[in-house]
Amino acid sequence: MHLARSIAVLRPSRFRRRHETIAKQQPTVHLRHGAVSLGIARALALGAIVATTPIAAAPIANLRGTMRTWQIDARFAHDMLIGRTTFDPSAISKALQTYIDDAQRIEQQLNERTADARDFKQRFVAFRADAQTALADLGQRSRLAADVSRVFSDCQSCHHEFNN
């Protein structure tokens, strides 16, 4: 409020007209020390939420892109394993290695000590181990199919447990 008044002194005509127009358009929230526009109040509330959110939640926000890539790779690998497309061991190897690398990166970023966080991290450990097993069985297609099925099952169980 005081900042707006000091700026209005520097630019009296244009700023006051604009400020009065905006003030008429936006509903206000009355606080103890004055009125604030609803937009500013929302921004302050969002800032308070972001400031109090633990840093460990940041890697979880980045999971959406990783999961989308994993989903595309999983569909592609599934199509190869059921014979819908030509079987390409190098493509499956690349997808499995991406799973392993990403899961290890996510494990390292999860540092919370709650039971849910430990469970979440443990699921990535199991996922990475199953992907490593599948990568080791790349030359044996029947074993590879079972291993990849287990990897997909890991995905489904985690998404089922954490509802996303």
Rg of the chain over all Cα atoms, to the nearest angstrom: 26
Computed over every residue of the chain, the mean pLDDT equals: 75
For residue range 66-77, list pLDDT tens digits in order.
889 999 999 999
How does residue 15 score in pLDDT terms, banded at 50, 70 and 90? very low
Residue 30 has phi, psi (to 5 degrees) of: -90, 120
57-162: which CATH number, 3.40.50.10140, 1.20.120.10, 3.50.50.60, 3.40.630.10? 1.20.120.10
pLDDT at position 57, please?
45
Domain boundaries, the chain: 2-52, 57-162
Q: How confident is the model at residue 24 (pLDDT cuts 50, 70, 90)?
A: low
Structural contact between residues 103 and 158, judged by C-beta atoms closer than 8 angstroms:
no
C-alpha–C-alpha distance, residues 135 and 146, integer Å = 12
pTM (2 decimals)? 0.61
